[in-house]
Structure 1
Amino acid sequence: MKAQSQVQQKAAGAALAAKRGEAKVKDLQGASKDMYETMTEGELEEMAGTAREDLPERKS
C-alpha cells in the first residue's frame, strides 16, 4: 500500500526504523506506534518508500 500523505509516509518510516532496531520502540507515538504493531516490515517498506514530492502534506 502506498502512503497517501507526507505525514503517513514519515510515520511509516519511523515505524520501519523501530522494526529494524534502528530506533527505540518506546519513542514511537500515535500512528507510527500503531503501524509498528500492526504492519509487517515489507508493508512498512512499501509505504515509507513512497515518493514524497507527489504527496499532499496531509490527507484531507
Structure 2
Amino acid sequence: MPAKSKAQQKAAGAALAAKRGDIPKSDLKGASKSMEESMTERQLDELASTKRKGKPEHVTKH
C-alpha cells in the first residue's frame, strides 16, 4: 500500500531503519514507533519507498 502523505512516508522510513538496526528503537516517537511495532519489514519498505512527488505533507481525517 502506498503512503498517503509525505509525513507517513517519513515515519515509515524511520521505523524501517529502526527495524533493520540502523538507528536505535529508542529514537522513535509517535507514529514511527507504533509502525515499527505493528508492521513487517516488507510493509514498511513498501510505505517508505513510495514516491513523494505530488503527495501532501499531511492528510486530515474526515
Query: Which interval holds the TM-score relative to the shorter structure?
Result: over 0.9
Root-mean-square deviation (CA, aligned residues, Å) is 0.6
Structure 1 or 2, whichever has the larger Rg, is 2
Calculate the TM-score normalised by the size of structure 1: 0.97
* Number of residue-to-residue matches in the alignment: 60
- Any gaps of 5 or more consecutive residues in structure 2? none
TM-score (normalised: structure 2): 0.94
Question: Residue 54 of structure 1 corresponds to which residue in structure 2?
Answer: 54
Percent identity for Structure 1 against Structure 2: 58
The runs of at least 4 consecutive aligned structure 1 residues that moved more than 2 Å come to: none
* Unmatched runs of 5 consecutive residues or more in structure 1: none
Match of 1:7 in 2: 7
